[in-house]
């Protein structure tokens, strides 16, 4: 595993994306934080050309932290039966 010295810049960069995306997702719940994170990340990818020093932290965040968050959220208790927990619903 990479040391903290190698990953802190990339983790900070991901945090730079995650915090505003989370706050915007709370303000515009229809869109949600993950969509804002994708849009912010796409915009920053155009602006940040030198990403060599960020790669280790971004890889760590995308593998370990994201996997932890997905596992944690899938273990939460809901009132819905298991077959309906992950389905999309469309209301016209």
4 CB burial (10 A radius; 0-12, 13-18, 19+)? exposed
- As given in the structure block, the two tokens for residue 70 are 């997905």
Percent residues over pLDDT 70 in the chain: 75
Instruction: Give the single-character DSSP code of 79.
Output: S
Q: What is the pLDDT of residue 27?
A: 93
Q: Is the pTM of this model over 0.85?
A: no
Query: Tens of pLDDT along the chain (92 residues)?
Result: 567 888 898 899 999 999 999 999 999 988 888 889 889 988 988 888 777 888 888 888 888 887 777 777 666 555 655 555 555 555 54
pLDDT in tens, 63-74: 888 777 777 766
């Amino acid at each position: 595993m990479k040391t903290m010295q190698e990953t802190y810049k990339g983790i900070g960069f991901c945090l730079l994306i995650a915090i505003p995306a989370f706050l915007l997702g709370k303000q515009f719940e229809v869109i949600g934080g993950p969509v804002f994170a994708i849009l912010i990340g796409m915009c920053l990818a155009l602006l940040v050309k030198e990403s060599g020093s960020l790669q280790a932290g971004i890889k760590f965040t995308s593998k370990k932290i994201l996997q932890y968050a997905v596992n944690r959220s899938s273990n939460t208790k809901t009132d819905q039966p298991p077959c309906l927990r992950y389905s999309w619903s469309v209301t016209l």
